[in-house]
Every structure is written in C-alpha cells, then in structure tokens.
C-alpha cells in the first residue's frame, strides 16, 4: 500500500512515550496507543509521537509551521485535562481527530450530556444525581439501581457492588464515590438487556456509519454489567454492521447521529447502548474520544488501517480552527 504524503502528529500521554518508542509497551494504554502509532506509520509518510502531560502545553504552533496536517489525539483521555488539550490544539490552528473542547467536556459529564440527549429525543436511563452533602428527599427510581461517578468515563468507579436495591445502599455507594473521586455520583435505573458498544465514524456530509460493534456477554446474561476490573465471563464479541438486522442497524445509526449532533461530537465516537426485552434502545454513554487499538472488537473488525484512515479523513474535512 502506497503511503499518503502527510505529516501526522500522534499525541499520547507523556508517560507512555518511552514504552512506545522502546517497542515493548507494558501497560494496556501504551499497547493500544502503540498500535495506532505504528498503523499510522504504515499509512502516512511522516508520523511523529508527541507526549502530552496535564498542565503543560507542547509547542503546537511550531508543529503547524512544520507542516503538520492533523493531530491524532489520544492524549489525556477521560481526565480533567482532556478537553483543555483539545482547546490548545484548536487555538494553535491545527486540525485534530475526534471532537473539540466543548463536545469532550459534555460527553464526560453524565449529568449534562443526558439532559441534552433526552431533550433531543434520545432514550437515556432514568437517573438521580447524588451530590455530597445533599440527601434527596425522594428517589423516584425502581430498583435495581446502578451507582456510578458522574464524570468518569467507561466503567471507572463501577464494581460488583455498584448495583443496589435500597436508598440506604445507594447513599452508601455514593459516599465511596465522593471519597474516591471528589465528584457527584449518579444512580441509574438499571436497564436489563443486551449491551453493545457501537463504533461510529463521520463521513462526508455529516453522515455517520457504524465501523463495528462489540456485543457484551456477562456471567449473569442480561443482568450483568461491566466493572472497572474485568471479571471472568465478561467478554465482548465483535460484529460487523451488516450482521445486525437491517431495522436495528438503521435505528442504532439514527440514534447515534442524533446523539452526536446533540453534543456536538465530530469525527468518531463510541456509543454504549442497552436493548431491553421490548426492543427499546437506551443510550448509556456517548464517548467523544474513545480508546482505539488494532485488536479492538469494535475498531478492528473491518481492518484497523481503514478505520484510522477514515478518522484522519474526517479530521481533514473539518473546518480549520
């Protein structure tokens, strides 16, 4: 395959740069980012690794002056610095893969993002906000309820005892989240059903397509859920979009498009959904800067090189900041 003549910056967390350059990544984060970096090297003539640390800003304007076309942004995912770094890239006049500052900040906030999604007609779990020092007089949710941090991504802060049945258990679980993360908790009415992770890529004209799907299976079948630490039996099966029934595929794509538009998400995203016994689709989370890896059941199913090229192409089509 002929390489495309472009200069791509691959931005990653500073603490994994050495592992990637040394060719022996030890942590999952380093291994995933290394697979992106090396795939980009196979696709483009010049790819440079940029280490990003929270609280510091690399000389991004110099990269622009050197001819960088796109920053492939893998840095500071689901940290308080993630949106700030995206803003720095925008201010430097560089295009970036994925979403900008506002969409990243919104998608990492389960409270505001769900209010916006619900207003746009997207089905989300019924939930209650549990803030430190406040005690809701009435919690109008039908148990079981799953309690999770309000601002942490993916399954951070979720453990095997996160699903509770009583108000007192809910408050006790919220206290642990307050102590660990220093942020509000939310209690979601637990949606039983099939859980899927949907990878979405933005094409020409703002059309979104499904790049791949991960179909979760749990030890307890439809009563299971993902935790911060993988458990035995917690697996994800890879699916292509055409393996879904046509009507379901179209419905998920339409929901994904509406959700991305509601939060201003661009380029690519992942959508975590549950499908209940009545076929209703509930959006659990929209991730505006999801993790990527060559062995991902979601992003690798069609070929990782195709996925990364489409993500870069989406960034190149975006208006210059």
Q: Give per-residue pLDDT as tens, 190-200.
A: 998 889 999 99
The DSSP H or E segment spanning 287 is: strand 281-287
Query: With 70 as the cut, is the pLDDT of residue 217 above it?
Result: no
Residue 52: HSE in the Cβ half-sphere, 13 Å Cα cutoff: 27
State residue 218's pLDDT score: 62
pLDDT of residue 54: 85
DSSP annotation of 33 reads H
* Cβ-contact 78, 285 below 8 angstroms: no
Helix (H, G, I), strand (E, B) or coil at 95: strand
- Determine the Cα–Cα distance for residues 96 and 73; give it in Å rounded to an integer: 6
Helix (H) or strand (E) holding 37: helix 28-43
Rounded to two decimals, what is the model's pTM?
0.90
pLDDT tier, 222 (very low <50, low <70, confident <90, very high otherwise): very low
Using the predicted structure, report yes or no on whether residue 227 has a pLDDT greater than 60. no
pLDDT at 160: 81
Average pLDDT, the chain: 90
């Amino acid at each position: 395959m002929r390489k495309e003549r472009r200069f791509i910056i691959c931005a990653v967390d500073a603490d994994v740069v050495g592992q990637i350059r040394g060719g022996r990544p030890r942590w999952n984060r380093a291994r995933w980012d290394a697979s992106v970096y090396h795939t980009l090297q196979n696709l483009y003539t010049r790819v440079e690794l940029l280490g990003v640390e929270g609280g510091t800003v690399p000389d991004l304007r110099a990269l622009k002056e050197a001819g960088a076309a796109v920053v492939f942004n893998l840095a500071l995912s689901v940290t308080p610095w993630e949106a700030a770094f995206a803003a720095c890239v925008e201010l430097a006049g560089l295009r970036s893969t994925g979403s900008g500052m506002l969409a990243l900040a919104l998608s990492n906030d389960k409270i505001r993002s769900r209010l916006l999604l619900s207003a746009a007609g997207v089905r989300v779990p019924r939930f209650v906000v549990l803030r430190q020092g406040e005690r809701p007089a009435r919690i109008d949710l039908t148990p079981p309820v799953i309690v999770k941090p309000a601002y942490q991504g993916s399954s951070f802060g979720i453990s095997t005892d996160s699903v509770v049945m009583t108000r007192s258990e809910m408050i006790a679980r919220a206290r642990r989240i307050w102590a660990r993360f220093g942020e509000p908790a939310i209690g979601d009415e637990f949606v039983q059903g099939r859980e899927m992770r949907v990878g979405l890529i933005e094409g020409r004209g703002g059309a979104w397509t499904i790049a791949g799907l991960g179909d979760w299976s749990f030890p307890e079948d439809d009563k299971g859920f993902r935790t911060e630490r993988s458990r035995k039996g917690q697996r994800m099966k890879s699916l292509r979009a055409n393996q879904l029934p046509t009507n379901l595929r179209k419905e998920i794509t339409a929901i994904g498009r509406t959700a991305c538009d509601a939060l201003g998400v661009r380029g690519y995203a992942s959508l975590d959904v549950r499908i209940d016994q009545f076929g209703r689709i509930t959006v659990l989370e929209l991730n505006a800067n999801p993790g990527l890896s060559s062995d991902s059941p979601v992003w690798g199913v069609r070929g990782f090189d195709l996925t990364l090229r489409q993500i870069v192409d989406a960034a190149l089509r975006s208006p210059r900041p």
